Structure 1
Amino acid sequence: MSTRTGVTEQAALAAIDGGCRTLRLPTMRSRFAEIATAAEREQLSYLGFLAELVMAECDDRDTRRAARRLAAAGFPRDKRVDEFDFAANPIVTAAVINQLATCAWVRNGQPLCLIGDSGTGKTHLLIALGTAAAQAGHSVRYVLASKLVNELAEAADEKQLSKTIARYGRLDLLLLDELGYMELDRHGAELLFQVLTEREEKSAVAIASNEPFSGWTKTFTDPRLCAAIVDRLTFNGQIIETGTTSYRLAHARAKRSTTTERRAQA
């Protein structure tokens, strides 16, 4: 069998395969025959067939990019906004979180603070909103506050501090979890302050803390430095309080209660 130009079908397929390899179009290469068959069946025009082929490549490329951004973010687990149990923690308003999931605050370089006790959903929301941002095309990094400070201290010892701070400064969104769980000496607090200053009013920062701002002096022992850090994290930003009642503990208790009842009925 040959094409109208006299090129055999086998040669045409080989040319397409080679061309897609050269141009780095893996989806076109793997799905060309499938899409061609569907186009013939649906009697698409040449332009329609080409459009289907190009859109398949673009869609798959977007999917691969999103997967790379999620991997680069370093999330410890998968959490999504639609998985959050707003009924279990009514203090958190679904409308507010869904608005944050549109990522306008990320595009505007605004801070976000999630404040509440353990088990109230802070980390879930932090990861979920970071995931939404990564899927929307933003570069995101999740890191424990203590781990970031240690990384900065090591970079300072190795004369790489400016490079490390610049790397964190280039991110669209930096997610700091467990801020307030450990006391930072003045040097550690100053290093963290440098990262926040690098990002101020340019790139978004979101933090999760089990301490209200009034208790941050236990983490940042220098009062003036503590005030400056709070200012960096709250100016033109949003504060969401997740409360003091652990719905994670409530779920565990409810699950145990249900299991006990079933055993009793058996």
Structure 2
Amino acid sequence: MTVTDAAAQAAIGAAARELHLPTVRAEAARLAEIAVRERQSHLAFLAELLSAEVDDRSSRRRARRIAEARFPRLKRLAEFNVDAVPTIQAATLASLAGGNYMDAGEPIVLLGDSGTGKSHLLIGLGLAACEQGRKVRYVTTAQLVNELVEAADERQLSRVVGRYGRLDLLLLDELGYVQIDPRGAELLFQIITEREERASIGIATNLPFSEWGSVFPDPRLVAAIVDRVTFNAHILETGTDSYRLRTSRTSMSTVMEFPGSGVDRVTEFPL
């Protein structure tokens, strides 16, 4: 019995809906027309159709991971101006973007003054991880501590700690800007311990390790936290010069050609 194109399309749509293949349902007719026009084999047509489904599913997964990470803004590592921060090497960022440190559960610590590009790098690393299909969450230190305190008050702490423990990469920004009370410090320590040598954590801080005692009140707890976040860690120092200011100066530079001289001169306008 011959099946009409309309009946075939209806059958494909029903099967794709049952199997949760939305791209197959949407693209089958269009790709079938291309296959006929280009005289593709049945197997080639099927390969194209399934590849479209896989690509679309991967794209949706990446978008979902990025939304779940809750980045305050999107910053890519490729957009980071390494010329403005001499202490950061492009090869180092390229290596970290590959994600092997997450497979090994290794921490990343970004040290530097305010405005030196720490958050950009932290978000860029997280975005690269999301695009690999990893589970990522960005949160400031103060936000995480507040969430943990509320969870403890509501007897939901184990559930919240477990949720953070299942992430491939936890990004903790702005450590050092707000002092943490003893209870909050102990709760944060639970999160760090839950991930130790098993799942990666990325920390951006404006304080050297020697000054973390100004954030965490218990000296023994400070030593334990520093020990855990520095063991096998990738430590990147962004320095003291403002990344934003140096990048702005670079963008304000223009090339001026003097008529008849054949000479190009770079002129930097004061900010």
Aligned: 1:113 with 2:109: yes
Aligned: 1:73 with 2:74: no
**1:194 alignment counterpart:** 190
Aligned: 1:21 with 2:44: no
**1:147 alignment counterpart:** 143
Secondary structure of the equivalent of 1:87?
helix
Aligned: 1:45 with 2:45: no
CA gap of 1:64–1:257, structure 2 versus 1, over 3 A, is closer
Letter in 2 for 1:42: E
Q: In 2, Cα distance between the equivalents of 1:112 and 1:163?
A: 25
Letter in 2 for 1:102: G
**1:234 alignment counterpart:** 230
CA gap of 1:44–1:237, structure 2 versus 1, over 3 A, is same
Structure 1 unaligned runs (5+)? none
Q: In 1, Cα distance between the equivalents of 2:233 and 2:171?
A: 14
Q: In 2, Cα distance between the equivalents of 1:134 and 1:226?
A: 31
**2:257 alignment counterpart:** none
Aligned: 1:32 with 2:28: yes
Q: In 2, Cα distance between the equivalents of 1:90 and 1:72?
A: 33
**1:88 alignment counterpart:** 84
1:181 to 177, 180, 186: 177
1:107 deviates by 1.2
Q: Is the 8 A contact 2:180 2:216 kept in 1?
A: yes
1:235 deviates by 0.6
Q: Is the 8 A contact 2:252 2:268 kept in 1?
A: no
1:24 deviates by 1.3
**1:11 alignment counterpart:** 7
1:250 deviates by 3.0
Matched residue count: 257
Secondary structure of the equivalent of 1:202?
coil
Q: In 1, Cα distance between the equivalents of 2:129 and 2:143?
A: 22
**2:54 alignment counterpart:** 58
Q: Deviations over 1:47-93 (max 9, x none)?
A: 11101111110110011011101100011101111100011112111
Q: Is the 8 A contact 2:81 2:247 kept in 1?
A: no
Q: So what's the TM-score if we normalise by structure 1?
A: 0.92
Q: In 2, Cα distance between the equivalents of 1:11 and 1:178?
A: 59
Secondary structure of the equivalent of 1:197?
helix
Q: Deviations over 1:165-209 (max 9, x none)?
A: 111011111000001111111111101000000111110001000
CA gap of 1:197–1:236, structure 2 versus 1, over 3 A, is same
Q: Is the 8 A contact 2:249 2:268 kept in 1?
A: no
Structure 2 unaligned runs (5+)? 255-266
Q: So what's the TM-score if we normalise by structure 2?
A: 0.91
Q: Percent identity?
A: 57
